[in-house]
Amino acid sequence: MKALILAGGFGKRLKPLTDQTPKPLLEVAGKPIIVHQIDWLKQYEVKEIILTIGYMTEKFIEFLGSGRRYNVNICYVVEDEPLGTAGAVKNAESLLKNEPYFYVVNGDVLTSLDPSKLLKALDQTTIGAIATVPLPSPYGIIYSDPQDRITGFKEKPSLREYWINAGVYAFKPEILNRLPEKGSIEEAFEKIAPEGKLKTVKYPDIFWKSIDTFKDIEEAEKTLAQKRILSTIYEPNRT
C-alpha cells in the first residue's frame, strides 16, 4: 500500500520556524510531524511513502533518507515550481497509476483516524473518499436557558452539524485523469462532486489537528501530553 504525503508547502504562517526547516519536519511533542505520520501510516499496512517536495528538498532527503530507519521505503517527487496540491499528486502519476488505490495525506496533519475506512468507501462508482471531521470551534460556547440565564460553558467544542476536509484521502488511480497539472485538489473536487464519484467518511471521535500556526503546535503538544493519543495508536519499531 502506498501513501503520498503532500510536503511541498512553504509554511509561511509558521515563520520564522520555517525559514530554516520545512513545516513537516517541525517537531511536535518531541518528533517531526512527518515522523508522526509515518508511524501512523505503518499501522495500516502502508510500506511505501511518496513525498512531494519543493521547499528545502535537501532537508527532507537528509533527514529521512530511504526510509529504512523507519521501516518503510521513501521516494521523492520534486517540484521545480509550486504546483498546488492537485498538481503535486498529478506530478507523481508515474508512481501511482498502476496501484489499485492509494492514500494522499496533507503534510501538516496529525491524526489518529483509521484510513482503511476510506478504502471501504471506494465502491464501483466512486473514485475518491475524503475523510471529514467535525468543525472545531475557535471559541468557547456559552449555553443559556429561555430566560437567558447562563447554564454552562464548553471550551472550543466540535460543531458536529458541520464537517470539514481532514486532509486525508483514498483514491483510485482514475482520479489522476481528473487532476490538473497545477492547482488545488479542492478545486478538482468541486468539479468531480456533481458526478457522484466522491464519498465522505465521517470521523466524529478521533484526534485530528492541522498544524498551521504556533497556536496549533501548542494545542497539539498539550493534547498529546495529556492524553498520549498517538502513542496508543502506534509503537514505532525502527532498526
Q: What is the pLDDT along the chain (239 residues), one digit of tens a residue?
A: 999 999 998 888 999 999 999 999 999 988 999 999 999 999 999 999 999 999 999 999 999 999 999 999 999 999 999 999 999 999 999 999 999 999 999 999 999 999 999 999 999 999 999 999 998 887 888 989 898 889 988 887 777 788 999 999 999 999 999 999 999 999 999 999 999 999 999 999 899 999 999 999 998 998 887 766 555 545 444 43
pLDDT of res. 228 = 62
Distance of CA 47 to CAs 3, 13, 24, 66, Å?
8, 31, 19, 12
Annotated active-site residue in 154, 156, 191, 202: 156
User: Are the C-beta atoms of 27 and 129 separated by less than 8 Å?
Assistant: no
pLDDT of res. 55 = 93
Query: Distance between the two ends of the chain, CA-based, in angstroms?
Result: 21
Active-site residue flag, 90: no
pLDDT of res. 1 = 92
Task: Give domain limits for the chain.
Answer: 2-133+163-232
Q: Please name the fold of domain 2-133+163-232.
A: Spore Coat Polysaccharide Biosynthesis Protein SpsA; Chain A (3.90.550)
pLDDT of res. 224 = 82
Q: Cβ-count burial of 206 within 10 angstroms (0-12 exposed, 13-18 middle, 19+ buried)?
A: middle
Rounded CA-CA distance 55/235 in Å is 30
